[in-house]
A and B are shown apart, each in its own frame.
Chain A
Amino acid sequence: MKEPMFIVSQEDWSLHRKGYQDQLRHQEKVKEAIKQNLPDLVSEESIIMSNGRDVVKIPIRSLDEYRFRYNYNKSKQVGQGNGDSKVGDVIAREGDPAQGPGKGSGAGEDPGQDYYEAEISVEELEEMLFSEMELPNLKRKDQDQITITDIEFNDIRKKGLMGNIDKKRTILEALKRNARAGNPSLKGGISIDDLRYKTWEEVTKPHSNAVVIAMMDTSGSMGIFEKYIARSFFFWMTRFLRTKYEKVEIVFIAHHTEAKEVTEEAFFSKGESGGTICSSAYRKALEIIDSRYSPAVYNIYPFHFSDGDNLTSDNERCVKLVGELMKRSNMFGYGEVNQYNRHSTLMSAYKHVNDPKFKHCIIREKGEVYKALTTFFKKTEEAKA
Chain B
Amino acid sequence: MAAEDKRQLERAIDEITEIAKGFGLDFYPMRYEICPADIIYTFGAYGMPTRFSHWSFGKSFHRMKLQYDLGLSKIYELVINSNPCYAFLLDGNTLIQNKLIVAHVLAHCDFFKNNVRFSKTNREMVESMAASAERIRQYEILYGKQEVENFLDAALAIQEHIDPSLIKPQFDYTKEEADSRNTHRNLKKGSYDDLWALDPEERERREKEEAKKNQPVRFPPRPEKDLLLFIEQYAQGLEDWQQDILTIVRGEMLYFWPQLETKIMNEGWASYWHQRILREMELTERETIEFAKLNAGVVQPSTTSINPYYLGLKMFEYIERKWDNPTEEEQKRFGRRKGEGRKKIFEVRELDSDISFLRNYLTKELVDELDMYVFAKQGNDWTITEKAWESVRDQLVVSRVNGGFPYMTVENGDYLRNGELYLKHHFEGMELDIKYLERTLPYVHQLWKKTVHMETTIEDRQVLFTHDGKKTHRRFL
Q: Residues on A close to B: CB < 8 A?
A: 3-11, 13, 16, 18-26, 29, 63-94, 97-111, 176, 179-180, 182, 184
Contacts and interface: CB of A to CB of B under 8 A. Distances in A.
B432 A70 contact: yes
21 contacts: A9-B32, A11-B35, A13-B36, A19-B46, A21-B58, A66-B439, A68-B161, A68-B436, A70-B430, A71-B430, A74-B430, A76-B374, A78-B374, A79-B305, A79-B384, A80-B372, A81-B373, A85-B387, A87-B387, A93-B382, A108-B260
A29 B9 CA distance: 43
Contacts of A16: 39, 42
Nearest to B101: A105
A86 B375 CA distance: 11
A26 B73 contact: no
A74 to B, nearest CB: 5
B263 A106 contact: yes
A217 to B, nearest CB: 39
Interface stretch (B114-122, B174-182, B404-412): B404-412
Contacts of B29: 3-6
B376 A68 contact: no
B31 A9 contact: yes
Given A69-B436, A109-B60, 5 more contacts: A7-B30, A8-B13, A76-B376, A100-B305, A100-B306
Interface residues of B, number: 110
Contact of B382 (A4, A9, A10, A91): A91
B48 to A, nearest CB: 7
Contacts of A103: 73-76, 297-298, 309
Contacts of A8: 6, 9-10, 13, 32-34
Contacts of B304: 77, 79, 91-92, 97-100
Interface of B: 1, 6, 9-10, 13-14, 17, 29-36, 38-39, 41-42, 44-48, 53-62, 64-65, 68-71, 73-79, 91, 104, 156-161, 256, 259-260, 263, 266-267, 297-298, 300-311, 370-377, 380-387, 392, 395-396, 399, 404-406, 408, 425, 430-434, 436-437, 439-440, 443
Most A-side CB within 10 Å, residue of B69, B382, B384, B436: B382
A80 B432 contact: no
Nearest to B257: A108
A68 B437 contact: yes
B59 A107 contact: no
Most A-side CB within 10 Å, residue of B298, B303, B371, B374: B303
B157 A23 contact: no
B33 A77 contact: no
Contacts, number: 288
Contacts of A93: 380-382
Given A90-B382, A106-B259, A9 B33 contact: yes
Contacts of B1: 10
Contacts of A84: 371
B308 A102 contact: yes
A97 B382 contact: yes
B432 A81 contact: no
A64 B44 CA distance: 19
A17 to B, nearest CB: 9
Nearest to A179: B71
B31 A7 contact: yes
Contacts of B303: 79-81, 91-92, 97-98
A70 B406 contact: yes
Given A80-B370, A100-B305, A105-B76, A70 B431 contact: yes
Given A10-B1, A78-B306, A102-B309, A68 B425 contact: yes
Contacts of B381: 90, 92-94
A100 B73 CA distance: 11
Contacts of A65: 56, 59, 156-157
Nearest to A63: B59
Nearest to B408: A68
A81 B298 CA distance: 17
B377 A86 contact: no
Contact of A66 (B6, B256, B436): B436
Contacts of B77: 105
B439 A68 contact: no
Most B-side CB within 10 Å, residue of A19, A89, A92, A100: A19
A130 to B, nearest CB: 26
Given A6-B30, A7-B32, A22 B375 contact: no
B302 A101 contact: yes
